[in-house]
Amino acid sequence: MSDITPADGRREPGQWRVGRASFLTLAGLTTGALLLAQSPPGALSVLAPGRTAAGFEIYTIADFPSFDPARYRLEISGMVKHPRSYTLAEILATPIVREVQTFHCVTGWVVPDCRWAGVRLWDLIAAAEPISGATALSFFCMDNAYTESLTLAQAKVPDVLLAYGLDGTRLSRQQGAPLRLIVPGMYGYKSAKWVNRIEVGDKVVPGYWEQNGYDVDAYIGRSNGA
């Protein structure tokens, strides 16, 4: 994927929360009305007019962060033998993992056949060597607002990625550049954008939306009232 460049043309998968039942009840409202009436306290929902054919919508809880690719670092720390600090160039130089997955938003919409490219999450975590007693990962993001979590067992699933590309192009800022977490078996709020730090710990720390009512285990069809 050497020709990956910014702007994939899709709208942003959701982190803005409206429960599945509430979403269906409010389906007759315009997008603008949904944002005005249902945004949770402290959330910023950024939504371009309408929907693209590709199906993604743009939701966020803070401004889109900017970054200098030359200064970016992905830090892996906590309960590990070998804390790591990866440059973006080092991430891009690792063997590319490509997979095609359907993206599921917890509000009910899906985007089929998303072609992600990135690095397998567990490869990076294993290189840091979690120590005895480590059971979970916490993800932190460049917007200094969003957080997420996985158990080590969930992180070991082979299709869990730190993605830097979508549909043949580099992720845009709106889509989470330079790296976003992709957890295909779970709803999209688990796919944290702008990831720049991963902390290995001894317990699951609920992420931003789990602290606001979402399920910590976000398995598609088995959580959030599905």
Read off the CATH number of the domain in which 134 is found: 3.90.420.10
Structural domain containing residue 150? 20-212
pLDDT given for residue 42 in this prediction: 42
Residue 69, domain member (yes or no): yes
pLDDT given for residue 202 in this prediction: 98
Integer angstrom CA distances of residue 107 from 11, 46, 168? 15, 16, 26
Outline where the chain has alpha helix (H). Answer: 20-25, 31-38, 88-93, 121-128, 152-155
pLDDT given for residue 224 in this prediction: 75
| Strand positions, DSSP E, the chain | 73-78, 84-87, 97-104, 110-120, 136-141, 147-151, 161-166, 169-170, 180-182, 195-201
Q: How many domains does the chain have?
A: 1
The two beta strands, 136-141 and 195-201, are antiparallel
pLDDT given for residue 76 in this prediction: 98
Residue 188, domain member (yes or no): yes
**Ranges in the chain, pLDDT < 50:** 1-54
- Residue in 133, 44, 39 with CA at minimum distance from that of residue 81: 133
Residue 35, domain member (yes or no): yes
Residue 46, domain member (yes or no): yes
pLDDT given for residue 62 in this prediction: 82
pLDDT given for residue 226 in this prediction: 60
pLDDT given for residue 134 in this prediction: 98
Residue 169, domain member (yes or no): yes
pLDDT given for residue 60 in this prediction: 78
